[in-house]
Amino acid sequence: MHVTSTLRSHCAPFRAKKLDIGCFVNKWVIRDHTKRKVFAENEVDRQALRYVIRNTSLPPRMRAQAQLQLTQMHCYTRPTQIKNRCTMGGKGKGVFSDFRMARYQFRLNALAGNIPGVKKASW
């Protein structure tokens, strides 16, 4: 029971009190947005630790400590947690990162002429 409670509270301490994004919103989008903000806040610390780890001229003990510290940082500070999601439908798969849209939303918006410079080709 204890495990479930900690898992549930992962996002909560970082989540904005008020909705601060203006696209399609569901829990996954909010979670991803929260992760992005937390990553941006902690990026400098992470890079500093990574520098210490990669620098072979520093004492091994110090580098091991930095490794430990980096692994013990909250998972939301990790860039690998971030996933590009569709801003029109919240989907996590088949997202064109250039348009920030999943393939079907991209098709709909492109056909409707909402995306500048995109045109249906036929040959």
Using CA atoms in the order 63, 67, 73, 77, what is the torsion angle rounded to 10 degrees? 100
What is the number of alpha carbons within 13 Å of residue 80 lying toward its C-beta? 3
How far apart CA 104 and CA 83 sit, in angstroms, is: 18
32 vs 108 by CB, closer to another protein: 32
Site size toward another protein (CB under 8 A) is 29
Q: Tell me if 55 contacts another protein by CB under 8 A.
A: yes
Tell me how far CA of residue 80 lies from CA of 35, 44, 77, 104, 113, in angstroms.
10, 16, 9, 25, 34
Taking contact as CB under 8 A, which single stretch among the options 2-10, 25-33, 67-75, 109-117 is the one that binds another protein?
A: 25-33
Residues numbered 33 to 52 that lie near another protein (CB under 8 A) are 33, 36-37, 39-41, 43-44, 47, 50-52
What is the number of alpha carbons within 13 Å of residue 27 lying toward its C-beta? 3
Find the shortest distance in angstroms from Cβ 50 to another protein.
5
| Nearest in space to 100 (alpha carbons), one of 9, 10, 29, 14 | 29
Find the shortest distance in angstroms from Cβ 78 to another protein.
12
Find the shortest distance in angstroms from Cβ 71 to another protein.
17
- Interface residues with another protein (CB under 8 A)? 19-23, 29, 32-33, 36-37, 39-41, 43-44, 47, 50-57, 79, 82, 84, 87, 100
